[in-house]
Amino acid sequence: MRLYDSLRQEHVEVVPPDGVVRMYVCGITPYDTTHMGHARTYVVFDALSRFLEDRGCTVRYVQNVTDIDDDILRKARQLGVPWDELGRRETERFLRDMDALNVRRPTFYVKATDHIPMMQEIIQVLIDKGLAYVRKGNVYFDISRDPDFGKLAHMGYAEMLRTANERGNNPDDPHKDDPLDFVLWQAAQPGEPTWKSPWGPGRPGWHIECSAMAMQYLGAQLQIHGGGADLQFPHHECEIAQSENYTGVEPFAQAWVHVGMVYLGGEKMSKSLGNLVLVSDVLQRYSANAIRLALLGYHYRQPFGYSDEDVARAEAVVDRWQTALADDRSHNPSGSITAELLEHEAVAALEDDFNTPEAIRVMNRLVDAALAGAVDSPLVAARAIRRIGGSLGLSLPAGE
Ligand SMILES: [Zn+2]
């Protein structure tokens, strides 16, 4: 299938060398509740993995939990609970929300704190290769030694710096040679959890966590590396710099796949703006099928403006699909619409950069035809609805 690669900025054919698609998707930092922005990203990659399996691939899917991070430590201090307890609790809540949305668990669901040795191994190799430097117990990646740095960002230096600063970079760190150099290992701070290291006690930087977990489970090259669009820079840029310099293998991922942001009333849904729509609240009002269909009703790269009306409309659509599977009217084999053709059209849409809105439109045509008694083969129509519905991760009644 073809996917849009944010690095090359074009559609690329995803070619699993041995029939195995190695897919890594950046996971949550567990310090707060799951909102529709999370839901969209994980529903998209869940549906993508289901579709790849439908196409005969094996999907080895790794998703991480960033269970040590500034945000967790800050929130734990505010709440007066141990940081690891907060992480465990919020991870459980996230998984309950994902289960309720019919999002399958990844093949490997892994925590950053279980992979410190692999992170240290990568950091040491980067130091040995002259790409990282040690200052007062901190280790930084030296971007001046990597001419490729910035290749995913597609931005000039000033824009990279501004964007990085908005997303967690500290440009004023006096130990850095360049304000864009990023932390691989940070020296122990009073009251923070620390791990032993060759550079002194401390904890890993955020970016190195994902490089380590991706490579530990999937090797030097992935077919798909995914995440929200706000991770493209600096997080995924830094992952490329660390991973490709560590292994010497390029590209680290055949396709960098980024899911558009979720908006509410024209503003990006974000914790800082306080305009979050929580998954658990939406699930009180609508079915998981409707929420998934609403999210997948927009192409994954487009921004998604959340509205209850969209989900309500999706609920009606799912009802019609279910009716078509159950209703006698759709069992009349005398129609002129070729069900198999529409099935192929829907599959072709999904193969073309996972165009779920187009696949849904095609299925709606098939459902309308089936309910009007206008398809040539009700059996094939039912099979197609179940198949495409299955790739989108809808729970539909099983066939006979
Ligand atoms: Zn990541």
Domains annotated for the chain, with CATH where assigned, are: 12-259 (3.40.50.620), 267-391 (1.20.120.640)
Give yes or no for a contact between 351 and 1, defined as CB atoms under 8 angstroms apart.
yes
127 φψ region: left (φ > 0), alpha (ψ -120 to 50), beta (else): alpha
Helices (H) and strands (E) counted in the chain, each on its own, are: 13, 14
Q: How far is the CA of 353 from the centre of ligand 1 (A)?
A: 22
Report DSSP letters for 226-255, one per residue: EEEGGGIIIIIHHHHHHHHHHH--S-SEEE
| Structure confidence at residue 239 (pLDDT) | 98
Structure tokens at 270: 């974000």
Q: 3-state DSSP call for residue 115?
A: helix
- Percentage of the chain beyond pLDDT 90 is 92
Q: How far is the CA of 15 from the centre of ligand 1 (A)?
A: 22
Q: How far is the CA of 224 from the centre of ligand 1 (A)?
A: 13
| Structure confidence at residue 297 (pLDDT) | 98
CA 92/CA 69 separation, integer angstroms = 18
Cα dist from 10 to 6, 183, 242, 259, 355, whole Å: 7, 31, 24, 15, 15
CA 152/CA 304 separation, integer angstroms = 23
CA 210/CA 223 separation, integer angstroms = 15
Q: How far is the CA of 54 from the centre of ligand 1 (A)?
A: 27
Q: How far is the CA of 201 from the centre of ligand 1 (A)?
A: 23
Cα dist from 394 to 16, 214, 290, whole Å: 26, 28, 9
Residue 283 has pLDDT above 90, yes or no: yes
| Structure confidence at residue 247 (pLDDT) | 98
Q: How far is the CA of 236 from the centre of ligand 1 (A)?
A: 7
Residue carrying the six token digits 């054919």: 13
Q: How far is the CA of 75 from the centre of ligand 1 (A)?
A: 20
Q: Which of 103, 76, 100 is nearest to 89 (CA)?
A: 76
**Phi, psi (degrees; rounded to nearest 5) at 351:** -70, -20
pLDDT tens by residue, 230-250: 999 999 999 999 999 999 999
Give the mean pLDDT of 261-265.
94
Q: Supply the pTM of this predicted model.
A: 0.97
Residues with CB under 5 A from ligand 1 (ion): 26, 210
pLDDT tens by residue, 314-367: 999 999 999 999 876 667 777 889 999 999 999 999 999 999 999 999 999 999
Q: How far is the CA of 25 from the centre of ligand 1 (A)?
A: 7
Q: How far is the CA of 163 from the centre of ligand 1 (A)?
A: 17
